[in-house]
A and B are shown apart, each in its own frame.
Chain A
């Protein structure tokens, strides 16, 4: 049973380009969470999705960021017109039941904006 998978592991973009980060949850998990970790800081919640639904996006920046979790395929975190401040590690986690269920984290995608 594969764990949470994220790709790419490392992504380099120039300012103004788009970044697409993908997350495949653990088999059988239907809840996906995205977090951002800036250097020397703790993880910060961004968005919580279930299949085809955004449950909570209170941690998402109002502009340029969007997330989806389609019926088929991985969850996608999309950052348009990236800026240097977007450079961070982006972690995806999944859980089976939500609520108090343990979240299992992927290895993260390290985004560097030049």
Chain B
């Protein structure tokens, strides 16, 4: 069964600190892995997308890594800001855009 599991479920850190969110997946076939940011009451917004051959990809203060052998990905956020408070969703494509498998998300709260 195709599944994406994220940890932790929720995380609270102080503004300016770094954090790392984890994603484990059992999705086959594997096409690509994306991280989305979803603000409360809004739709998800794409942060990064990685294919099988990519190990890391950055988007500003966000850096995603992918280990296709262990089927793990992480999203590292540096120098967190209050606006980073949101849910971060790991999404794996099982071949084709219509075969996206979503994780439950990590709820990140940045406190001043």
Contact = CB atoms under 8 A, between A and B. Distances in A.
A48 B105 contact: no
B46 A102 contact: yes
B42 A107 contact: yes
Interface of A: 4, 31, 33, 35, 40-45, 48, 55-56, 91, 93, 95, 98-108
B43 A44 contact: no
Interface string B70-112: 0000000000000000000100010011111011110000000
Interface of B: 4, 31-32, 34, 36, 41-46, 49, 51, 89, 93, 96-100, 102-105
A114 to B, nearest CB: 20
Contacts of B105: 42
A98 B102 contact: no
B98 A43 contact: no
A42 B89 contact: yes
Given A100-B31, A102-B49, A43 B44 contact: yes
Contacts of B98: 33, 45, 48, 55-56, 98
Contacts of B103: 42
Contacts of A106: 43
Contacts of B89: 42-43
Contacts of A102: 34, 46, 49
Nearest to B45: A105
